[in-house]
């Protein structure tokens, strides 16, 4: 968020300065009359403090960069509505161009029930024919090897029956045992691999391949996918016609039965937000505070122990001022007792912490020193961005388990199309889901986690736009 102060002779000039510098989307945070002299003449002045979100500021800067100096001056003098319309058009035009570039770069897919181009059809037929040919060769080779082993086994047994001395019999018996062992191992090979080898090496039956690909594309952990589909295979073993709709229905029910979420009412006054730098802790805290104030009419206070990050205190202070709620800074442990005593009448006390990766002992000790004594009587939220890779996300989440967090807040849902990490974290860590950060807007882009919403994200039932 961009925050600036403006000083002018009168309110009209000050507002014009705000509009010229920050644009029509700026919010006036405060206004005051200065008694001191202004300029050479020594007259009084008006001081305004205004703010604008980072996104809106960047959009405006982008739109202005495309204009010449004269055009920029005309736009500054125009009405706020006219400026907004121009910025929106410029941004929309840019995004449309980006989408067009992406669309051109993507491989063309044949729409459903569309007559395909002859060359494409021939290529697909050739590919399918090649796959069938490879499968036929594999099956022929398999049957041939099995038949050869059987023949060797029968021949060796015949030679045992016609052997003339004990040493020859013993040697042939060993050969029989060896062939018998080879046959048993060969026959125990997964039948699905022999019939239809797939990308998962025959880990699940062939009729579940499409579901395996769908869950894998959603970003769900491979081991969890195999576990789900093996359970599904057992459950549907007695069903003759295993249609895709039936399989999807069973898998959807499995998700609804296994996803674990926590409710809105946590039952503890102090709530601590933890996570790595850039995970969205502060934004999640402010969104949650706004939700409790606006929706539930609760008394909320914000405390920060994050004195390391530049601008973090000022940012939270501005949000607290906008929400009209108490705000406190913890510089040392001795500050906790008097501050908590003053805030004892509050319904929720939300604590922001520094962003650490906990790679070394110094970061662990720093976090323990600042909030360790509060953990037993607090609810701890771990904040994880979905833009992080699965391996890195799980590794970092396991490091934070030393603080025994109660639930997980998943953020940056709008920055990825793979939401399977939500389910992977939930199942692998056995920790319930608390809420989601679905965008940069405060407080709108926030929602509490539900099983149905996770299922919606994985199966992409509700498509944006």
pLDDT of residue 193: 43
Query: Do strands 327-329 and 300-304 pair parallel, antiparallel, or not at all (unpaired)?
Result: parallel
pLDDT of residue 145: 64
Residues 95 and 131 in one domain: no
Boundary (domain end) residue, out of 104, 130, 164: 104
CA 327 to chain centre: 30
Residues 427 and 315 in one domain: yes
Residue 328 within any structural domain of the chain: yes
Residues 130 and 99 in one domain: no
Residues 100 and 23 in one domain: yes
Residue 111 within any structural domain of the chain: no
What is the number of structural domains in the chain?
Answer: 3
Distances (CA, A) of 347 to 157, 180, 267, 289, 300: 84, 74, 10, 11, 6
Q: Where are the alpha helices (DSSP H) in 162-279?
A: 166-187, 191-195, 209-217, 222-235, 244-258
Q: For residue 341, give every residue at least 6 positions away whose Cβ sits within 8 Å of its Cβ, in sequence order, or none.
A: none
Boundary (domain end) residue, out of 144, 165, 189: 189
352-373 pLDDT tens trace:
999 999 988 999 999 999 998 9
Residues 277 and 425 in one domain: yes
Structural domain range at position 132: 121-189
Contact 316, 284 (CB under 8 A): no
Share of the chain above pLDDT 90, in %: 35
pLDDT of residue 302: 95
Residue 229 within any structural domain of the chain: no
Give CA angle at 158 (157, 163), nearest 5°.
95
Residue 246 within any structural domain of the chain: no
Residues 84 and 164 in one domain: no
Reduce the DSSP state of residue 5 to 3 states and report it.
Answer: strand
Residue 251 within any structural domain of the chain: no
Boundary (domain end) residue, out of 149, 172, 189: 189
Written as six digits, the tokens of 199 are: 């990308």
Residues 42 and 165 in one domain: no
Residues of the chain with confidence (pLDDT) below 50 = 38-41, 109-121, 191-197, 465
Residue 219 within any structural domain of the chain: no
Residues 93 and 146 in one domain: no
Edge-to-edge strand order for the sheet containing 2-8?
2-8, 43-52, 27-38
Residue 438 within any structural domain of the chain: yes
Residue 385 within any structural domain of the chain: yes
Q: Report the candidate in 350, 414, 358, 422 with the shortest Cα–Cα distance to residue 381.
A: 350
pLDDT of residue 264: 65
Residues 359 and 445 in one domain: yes
pLDDT of residue 196: 44
Residues 444 and 343 in one domain: yes
Reduce the DSSP state of residue 394 to 3 states and report it.
Answer: helix
d(CA 439, CA 419): 14
Reduce the DSSP state of residue 278 to 3 states and report it.
Answer: coil
Burial label for 326, CB within 10 Å (0-12, 13-18, 19+), is: middle
Q: Report the candidate in 47, 435, 22, 458 with the shortest Cα–Cα distance to residue 225.
A: 458
d(CA 126, CA 19): 63
CATH number of the domain bearing residue 334? 3.40.50.300
Contact 408, 382 (CB under 8 A): yes
Residues 374 and 455 in one domain: yes
Residues 19 and 168 in one domain: no
181-193 pLDDT tens trace:
766 665 555 544 4
Written as six digits, the tokens of 144 are: 């041939």
The structure's pTM equals: 0.59
Look at the chain and count its residues: 465
């Amino acid at each position: 968020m961009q925050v600036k102060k403006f000083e002018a002779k009168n309110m009209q000039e000050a507002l014009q300065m705000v509009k010229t510098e920050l644009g029509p989307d700026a919010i006036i945070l405060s206004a005051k009359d200065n008694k001191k002299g202004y300029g050479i003449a020594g007259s009084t002045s008006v001081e305004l403090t205004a703010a604008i979100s980072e996104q809106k500021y960047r959009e405006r800067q982008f739109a202005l960069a495309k204009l010449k100096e004269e055009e920029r001056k005309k736009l500054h003098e125009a009405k706020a509505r006219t400026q907004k319309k121009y910025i929106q058009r410029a941004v929309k035009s840019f995004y449309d161009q980006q989408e067009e570039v992406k669309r051109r770069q993507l491989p063309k897919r044949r729409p459903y029930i569309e007559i395909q181009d002859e060359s494409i059809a021939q290529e697909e037929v050739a590919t399918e024919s090649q796959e069938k040919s490879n499968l036929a060769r594999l099956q022929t080779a398999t049957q041939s090897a099995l038949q050869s082993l059987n023949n060797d086994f029968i021949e060796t047994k015949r030679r045992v029956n016609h052997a003339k001395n004990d040493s020859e019999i013993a040697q042939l018996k060993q050969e029989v045992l060896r062939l018998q062992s080879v046959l048993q191992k060969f026959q125990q090979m997964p039948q699905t691999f022999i019939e239809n080898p797939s990308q998962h090496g025959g880990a699940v039956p062939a009729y579940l391949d499409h579901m395996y690909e769908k869950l894998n594309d959603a970003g769900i952990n491979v081991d969890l996918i195999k576990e789900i589909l093996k359970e599904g295979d057992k459950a549907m073993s007695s069903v003759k016609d295993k249609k895709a709709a039936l399989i999807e229905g069973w898998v959807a029910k499995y998700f609804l039965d296994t996803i674990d979420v926590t409710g809105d009412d946590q039952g503890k006054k102090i709530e601590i937000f933890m996570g790595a730098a850039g995970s969205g802790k502060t934004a999640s805290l402010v969104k949650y505070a706004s939700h409790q104030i606006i929706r539930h009419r609760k008394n909320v206070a914000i405390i920060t122990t994050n004195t390391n990050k530049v601008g973090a205190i000022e940012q939270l202070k501005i949000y607290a001022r906008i929400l009209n709620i108490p705000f406190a800074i913890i510089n040392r442990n001795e500050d906790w007792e008097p501050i908590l005593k003053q805030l004892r009448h509050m319904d929720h006390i939300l604590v922001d912490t520094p962003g650490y990766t906990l790679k070394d002992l110094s970061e662990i000790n720093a976090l323990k020193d600042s909030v360790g004594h509060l953990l037993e009587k607090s609810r701890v939220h771990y904040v994880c961005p979905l833009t992080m890779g699965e391996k890195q996300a799980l590794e970092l989440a396991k490091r934070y388990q030393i603080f025994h967090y109660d639930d997980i807040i998943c953020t940056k849902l709008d920055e990825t199309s793979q939401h399977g990490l939500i389910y992977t974290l939930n199942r692998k860590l056995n920790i319930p889901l608390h809420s989601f950060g679905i965008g940069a807007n405060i407080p709108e882009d926030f929602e509490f986690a539900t099983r149905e919403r996770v299922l919606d994200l994985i199966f992409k039932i509700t498509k944006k736009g």
